Amino acid sequence: MNPKLFEILVCPVTKGTLIYDKDNQELLSKSSRLAYPIRDDIPVMLPDEARHLTLEEIEDLNAHYQ
């Protein structure tokens, strides 16, 4: 994903920062607890297309990104 694009993207629900999950090709929002998919190198920033983060994923994010 283009680093310049990542710098300006925010969660469309909360306007919070996002965390890039390269392995799963997703942008994660701790504040909304959603994972936005990246398809063909394009972030899909639609809440209806995002999946809800599991409790385990949220705890992992909290442990690594304070």
CATH code, residues 3-64: 2.20.25.10
Considering all CA atoms of the chain, what is the largest pairwise distance in Å, rounded to the nearest integer?
Answer: 30
Helices marked H in 1-66: 3-8, 55-64
| Residue-range domain boundaries for the chain | 3-64
Question: What pLDDT does 10 receive?
Answer: 96
Residue 21, φ and ψ in degrees, nearest 5? -100, 95
Residue 52 host element (H or E): strand 51-52
**Tell me, what DSSP letter sits at residue 53?**
P
What does the pLDDT look like over 18-59, one tens digit per residue?
Answer: 999 999 999 999 999 999 999 999 999 999 999 999 999 999
